[in-house]
Structures are given as C-alpha cells and as structure tokens.
Structure 1
C-alpha cells in the first residue's frame, strides 16, 4: 500500500470513528504503517500512524506474538537505525517514530508480561546504541513536524527502566547513554528535551538500585569542562547551557521527593551547579 492509499485508509477509519475491532485485518494494516512510519508527511506519520499504533496497542488489538514482531521491526536496521548518523535528512523520522513505538509496547508488557528477559536485553542494547549514535537532534522541522530524537528516545528509556529485568548495571548504562544527549553541543534544546530526559532519569533513580557513588559519578560526568576538546566556543557554550538547564529541570522534578535516593541526588546536583 502506498503512502497516499494508507493515509486515505487511516483517515476513513478516523472520520468514521471506527474501533480497531471494526477494522478488517488490523495487523496487516499495521505492517503497512510500519512501511511508512517515517513519512515526511506529519499528518500521516504523527497524527495517523503513530496515534493509531498507540491507540490500538493500548486497546489490546494485537496478540502478544504480533506485538513482539512489531517491536523487533521497530528495533531493526531498517527502522531504528535507518540512515543512522545522517543529519538534516528525512531518515530521522523513521528512527524517531520507530523508537516511539517502544513505550506503548512496554506499557502492555508491564500490565501483562509477555516479553522474555532476552527480548528486554535486546531492547536495552539497541536503545542505548541508538542514543549514542543518533546525530540528528532537531526538534520541530518546518513543514514536516516533529523529529525530536532526544525526547522520543528518553520516553523509551523511561518505560524500559521500569522493567524488572533492568537491574543496577543496565540502569547505569541507560544513564550513561542519556549523557550523550544531555551534553549535546550542536544546538541548544528549545523543545522540552530537558523535561523528557529528566523524567526518564527520575524513573531510573526511583528504582533505587543504584549506589550513591554511581549517581554522583554520573552527574560529575556531565561536566562540560571535561568535554571541550575539539569543540568551538559556540559548541562549548551550547553544551554548557544544555547541561545546566537539564540539571535545573532534574532538581525541580525531585525537589519534593523524600524517599531514597532523592535527597542525596539533590545535593549532588547543587554541587554540580555550583561548579559551573
């Protein structure tokens, strides 16, 4: 099914207010949606394909086997890593909307576990690798809508961190993968990336599986002064601003949290901010 036919089909479903159970062969339609998940048309990609996926997954339309297949498609080289390393091209939409399928699928897994430990470990590996390799950090793209790689990936981290299979080492690796996006130097974030990443970090910390030394070392690793080699003054300034705004946002997000490890984390954040 080409993009125009798919768009018309999804618009018909939407305008008729049909439930997924009234749609013939929803899984076959989902496979067509996967083919066009990175369409540069924001209506097709975001308002139709993504919203339909999120709604149908939440409504339990797909079997566990079908969800697992969709998950592995989203993580494959033709989706999550399609054109990885490119900047300023439309390939970013395939990557960022593939990663955005992880939260609704992981949400289903929390409600009725169906993913095996090995599958969660694959998600962890692919997601951390993606965070480290994604170079296109544009937020909103004129005429094409949201790309928003840091925010979408952070949403996936937030859901993955809640898996009981994510233990101390895995959670620490998630934090360090987020570091790459927190210390971005090519742009100043202006589309709430700091909030989305902070939410993911809070979820990781709330598991309370990390040692205080893990957390303090991670916060220390955000110090822009240790990452200036080969960067221009503009890049250093942008990175410093991104880090400072993130730390301030994280502090505000946990300011009323009294359970461990949050009191100590607040202290670590203040110490880091005082160094800047």
Structure 2
C-alpha cells in the first residue's frame, strides 16, 4: 500500500474514532503502517500512523503474538536502526517513531504479561544501543514535524524501567545510557526533552534497586561534566550546549522528585540540590 492510499484509509478510520471493528484486517494494516512510520509527512506519520497504532494497542486489538511481532519489527535494523548515525536527514523519523511504539506495547505487557525475560533483555539491549548511537537529536523540524529522538527514547526507557524483569545492573545500565543523551553537546534541548528524560530517570529510581554509592557517582558524573571548562576537541558552543542540557535535566529531575518521600528519593533530592548550588556531591 502506498503512502497516499494509506493516508486516505487512516483518515477514514480517524473519522470513526479509530474503531478497529471497521477494518477487516487490523494487523495487516498495522504492518503497512510500519512500512511508512518514518514518512516525512507529519500528518501521516504522527497524527495518523502513530495515533492509530497506539490507540489500537491500548484497545487490545492485537493478539499477544502480533504485539511481539510489532515490537520486533519496530526494533529491527530497518526501523530503530535505519541509517543510524545520520544527521539532518529524514531517516530520523523512522528511528524516532519506531522507538515510540515501545511505550504502548510495554504498557500493555504490564496488563497482559506476554513478554518473557529474554524479551525484556533484548529490548533493553536494543534501546541502550540506540541511546548511544543516535546522533540526530533535533526536536521539531520545520514542515516535517517532530523528530524528538531523546524524548521518544526517554519515553521508552520510562516504560521499560517498570518491567520487573530488569534488575539492579540492568537499571544502572539504562540510567547510564540515558545520561549519554542528557550530556548531549550537538544542540541545546528546547522542546522539553529534559522533562521527558527526568521522568525516565524517576521510573528507574522508583524501582529502588540502585545503591546509594551508584547514585552518588551518577550525580557526581553529571555535575563534573556540567562544570568543566571547554573540553578537548569540543567547541565553546558544544561545551555550552552540554552544560545547559545537564543543568536543565538536573533541575527537572529535582522538581520531579521534590515531593517523593519513598526511598531513594530523599537521597537523590539532596544530591541534586548540592550539585545545583555548586557544592561537592
């Protein structure tokens, strides 16, 4: 199915509130949507394909094996890693909207438990690799809509962190990978990426499996990176981007946990406050 035909069909489905019972084969249509999930047309990609897929996933339209197949498709080399490493090209839309398929699937898994431990491990490995390798962190692209790689990946990390299959070392690895995007130097985040990444960090911390020493080391790493003078091989602008991005993340995280009293939030709150006012962590 070509993009024009798909757009027309999804617009018809939209007029009936995305009712899947109006579609003969929803899963087959979902596969067509996945083929066009990176289309540069923001209406087709975001308002039609993504909204329809997320709605149908949340409405239990797909069987367990179909959800697993969609997840595997979204995370394969032709979707999540499609032309990975490119910057300023339309390939980013395929990657960033593929990773955004994870949150509704993981949310449904918390209700239906169709994923196994090995599935969670594979998702984690793919997501961590993506966080490390994605270089195009544009937020909103004029005439083409949202790319938002860091925000979308953070949304996926937030849902993945809630999986009981993830243990201490898994959560620590996920937090470290998230920090790579926090310490972005290519551009300053201006589209609420800091808040989305902070919510992912809250989900990781909320599991209360990380030791205090690990939390202290993590905040200290962020503080050191934020306060360093211009680093070797980095321009003044890149250094400023990194410092601003880290500060905004730390502030967003502080406000996200300021009223949380369960462990480890009092410790995290204290560490962040010391770092933000310039003290030693």
TM-score bin (small chain): over 0.9
Pairing 1:231–2:234 present? yes
CA distance in 2, matches of 1:226, 1:101: 39
Other-structure match for 2:137: 137
Pairing 1:126–2:126 present? yes
CA distance in 2, matches of 1:235, 1:274: 23
Q: Deviations over 1:243-276 (max 9, x none)?
A: 1111011101111111111111011112222338
Residues 249 and 17 of structure 1, relative CA distance in 2, 3 Å threshold: closer
Other-structure match for 1:264: 267
CA distance in 2, matches of 1:195, 1:76: 28
Determine if contact 2:13/2:22 at 8 Å carries over to the other structure. Answer: no
Other-structure match for 1:241: 244
How many aligned positions are there? 276
Deviation at 1:30, TM superposition (A): 0.3
Determine if contact 2:79/2:98 at 8 Å carries over to the other structure. Answer: yes
Deviation at 1:233, TM superposition (A): 1.0
Other-structure match for 1:52: 52
Q: Deviations over 1:196-240 (max 9, x none)?
A: 000000011010000011111111122222882211111111110
Residues 30 and 146 of structure 1, relative CA distance in 2, 3 Å threshold: same
Q: Deviations over 1:125-149 (max 9, x none)?
A: 0000000000000000000000000
Other-structure match for 2:154: 154
Determine if contact 2:230/2:236 at 8 Å carries over to the other structure. Answer: no
CA distance in 1, matches of 2:232, 2:252: 27
Q: Deviations over 1:38-82 (max 9, x none)?
A: 000000000000000000000000000000000000000000000
Q: Secondary structure at the match of 2:277?
A: helix
CA distance in 2, matches of 1:118, 1:242: 34
Return the TM-score normalized by structure 1. 0.98
Return the TM-score normalized by structure 2. 0.96
Other-structure match for 1:106: 106
CA distance in 1, matches of 2:202, 2:229: 24
Q: Which ranges of structure 2 fall in alignment gaps of 5 or more residues?
A: none
Other-structure match for 2:92: 92
Q: CA RMSD in A?
A: 1.2
Q: Secondary structure at the match of 1:275?
A: coil
Q: Which ranges of structure 1 fall in alignment gaps of 5 or more residues?
A: none
